[in-house]
Structure 1
Amino acid sequence: MERKIYITVILFLGMLINAQSGKVGIKTTDPKETLDVNGNTYTNSLYLRNPGEPTMTGGSFLATSENSLQLYDPTLESSGLFNYLKLSLTGIPGTGIADYDTKIDADKFLLIVHNYSFKMNDGTTNVVLDYGDNGTNDNRQGSPDVTSFKSNGTWHIRARFTDSKLIALTSANPARTYNNFTVDLYLMAYKRLITKQNISDITTDLGGTNGSTRSVNKPSGF
């Protein structure tokens, strides 16, 4: 019992001495912040005056969401804040990809197609487009329709060209059915660490003008 009291007194004196310099250290004689705890802490409640801002020393980033505190720790999280992914899909038909489920959680990540390329499965780039799938050179091609979209809680990929079909440039009249294409997709997945609020979609009618004199209301939260 006497030993426990002695340890408690020494710990209290150490905190008192450090407090004179404006910093308090627990299990450390050289506190770096106003309160520096070298070990685990337990509390029933925690009040933060200005949550959601980087720490002054740049050690961590604190984020708040719905009045709760989150501390990003790379050793505990399953992925980083920014993830660069390459997705290669082979055996693609001439019509391209209509709907591919990446299984990436749409509630936890924002997925963006950063870049893409179409080629043959053997790695060659002898790929052309047949506009209208009519077998003739129309001197036209459909617009690229390569994007990510959310469906049933996950991110999906679409990679094709509107009104056009992929064909292999192997002869003057390539075969009309060809399924040996590869699509390389370079994706950026951003982790949703900070969530302030859901922002509703904005729709505005330009009324047939070029939009130079129109403006939309600023979304809440910006």
Structure 2
Amino acid sequence: MKRKIYITIMMCLGLLLNAQNKKVGINTANPTETLDVNGKSYTNSLYLRNPGEPTMTGGSFLATSQNGLQLYDPNLESSGLFNYLKLTLTGVSGLGITDYDTKIDANNFLVVLHNYSFKLNDGTTNVMLDYGDNGINDNKQGSPEVTAFKSNGTWHVKARFTDSRIIATNTNPPSRGYNNFTVDLYLMAYKRLITKQNINDVNADLGGNDGSTQTITKPSGF
């Protein structure tokens, strides 16, 4: 019994001495940081003060601050931190894609559509745009509208051209086929790690000016 009391006192003294040196170790007698945990940790809340780049080396950080935090373990995660996805949609009409649900959770991932291509389903690229649906080349083309957006908790994509339709030009004169196109979308899905708050969309009216003299409210959370 005396031996157990002695060991307990020594452990408390060691913790006290380390605390006086502004370093506390758990499962380690020689802490190298303010809090040095040699093993797994569990918490249901995590707050960071002045988050920045890690000062420790080794491992992949799930989050960073002035000290190392929990390591990212790919064996325990359903996906990686950075996920590349090529989405190929076939049988697309000349109107393009107006709303395709990727089913990727918008609360856990940030999706960026960084590239795209339009072609025929047979792989050829004899594709152009036609203004209107009159079968005549009006020499007018719409603006590309290819983007990822959030809707009902998931990420959606659109890939079309405003005021124009995609047409096939694999004959001379053009055949003006308005269906059976392929759209390749190249996406990056970044896993959300720490979220401070949901940032609202920003809408600003420039009043017909170029924006250089506008004074707007800083976006929330920044």
TM range (shorter): 0.7 to 0.9
Distance 1:24 1:61 in 2: 22
Residues of 1 paired with 2:148 and 2:163: CA distance?
A: 19
Separation (CA, whole Å) in 1 of partners of 2:198 and 2:86: 29
Q: Is the 8 A contact 2:63 2:193 kept in 1?
A: no
Corresponding position: 1:87 with 2:78: no
Q: Following the alignment from structure 1 to structure 2, what is the Cα–Cα distance between the partners of residues 87 and 118?
A: 12
Match for residue 107 of structure 2?
Answer: 107
Name the counterpart of 1:57.
Answer: 56
Deviation at 1:48, TM superposition (A): 6.5
Write the letter of the residue equivalent to 2:49: N
Indicate if the aligned counterparts of 2:168 and 2:176 stay in contact, CA closer than 8 A: no
Aligned with 2:200: secondary structure?
A: coil
Which runs of no fewer than 5 residues in structure 1 stay unpaired? 65-69
Instruction: Return the offset for 1:197.
Output: 2.5
Q: Which residue is 1:188 aligned to?
A: 188
Change (3 A) 1:214 1:21: closer
RMSD (CA atoms): 3.5
- Aligned-pair CA distance for 1:125: 1.0
Displacement after TM superposition at 1:97 (Å): 1.0
Alignment partner of 1:204: what SS? Answer: coil
1:47-88 per-position Cα deviation (integer Å, ceiling 9, x unaligned): 968375555325535479xxxxx9462422222333222111
How many residue pairs end up in the alignment? 216
C-alpha contact (below 8 Å) 2:199/2:220 kept by paired residues: yes
Using the alignment, how far apart are the partners of 2:70 and 2:26 within structure 1?
21
- Partner of residue 137, structure 1: 137
Deviates more, 1:11-20 or 1:170-179: 11-20
So what's the TM-score if we normalise by structure 1?
0.76
C-alpha distance 154-7 of structure 1, shift in aligned 2 (>3 A): same
> CA, structure 1 residues 162+73, in 2 after alignment: closer, same or farther (shift >3 Å)?
same
**TM-score normalised by the chain length of structure 2:** 0.76
- Partner SS for 2:218: coil
